[in-house]
Amino acid sequence: MDFVPSDEVLGIFVPIAVYWIYSGIYMILGSLEKYRLHSKKDEDIKNLVSKREVAKGVLLQQLVQAAIAFLVFSLGRDDSTTTSNVQTPITVIVKQFFIGMFVIDTWQYFWHRYMHLNKFLYRHIHSWHHRLVVPYAFGSQYNHPLEGFILDTLGGALAFVLSGMTPRTSIFFFSFSTMKGIDDHCGLWLPGNIFHMFFWNNTAYHDVHHQLYGNKYNFSQPFFITWDKILGTHMPYTLEKRAGGGLEARPTKR
């Protein structure tokens, strides 16, 4: 009999595979200088951590995420029903997606902002992510291990539990969430990008946060800008042509 992986196994490993495949595509497209928000030279010079160290950090975080996902799936498993055969109505899935997005956005906004306000946490924890002055795709999940555990892993577990989604739905939700996070860090403003069409929280919006003058703004991630708008941390920007080619996200005067 052919081996068919369970929804729980797919829910653990598909988002990880999506991360490396999708970010790999963006790294290849990084040679398209006219769509870059920073030059390739700046990416190589300004960043304070090597791509090798970034890859190692991401793999460590994904190992922790996989372990926590396995634990959450195991604790929530109902052996009295076969979840693979249960068809969730599309209206329920859409509702669960929006609940999951709200939970992640809320969790990440307040933790993210607090890690900027608390000098100890910023210096010793969150500054790891800001070593990427010029963000790129597979650096999306590069964090201090403690931050990765608190913001991403626990936030994702909360979204899964509070939304009530099934392991099968989680395959699609966390793959989508992973792609959105990569897109926010890819440093490319490509024409026809569907994320840019539907989300104001996008590549340029988050790029402003990674720059020195935007460090205390645009904390919202990865979906909406709601909390930035409500709590006064929204930094608007304009996209302008960059000297030497390409584009740049330039904050508008407040």
- What integer pLDDT is reported at residue 212 of this predicted model? 84
Look up the pTM and report it.
0.93
Amino acid, single-letter form, for residue 2 = D
- What integer pLDDT is reported at residue 106 of this predicted model? 98
- What integer pLDDT is reported at residue 221 of this predicted model? 95
What's the pLDDT band for 254 if we cut at 50, 70, 90? low
148 pLDDT more than 70: yes
Q: To 10 degrees, what angle do helices 167-185 and 7-29 make?
A: 20
- What integer pLDDT is reported at residue 213 of this predicted model? 83
- What integer pLDDT is reported at residue 177 of this predicted model? 98
Q: Which residues contact 39 (CB under 8 A, 6 or more apart)?
A: 33, 242, 244, 245, 246
Give the Cβ contact number of residue 16 at 10 Å.
20
Per-chain mean pLDDT for the chain = 94
Q: Which residues contact 95 (CB under 8 A, 6 or more apart)?
A: none
Q: Convert the pLDDT of each residue in 14-66 to its tens digit.
A: 999 999 999 999 999 999 999 999 999 999 999 999 999 999 999 999 999 99
Q: Report the C-alpha gap between 39 and 244 in whole angstroms.
A: 9
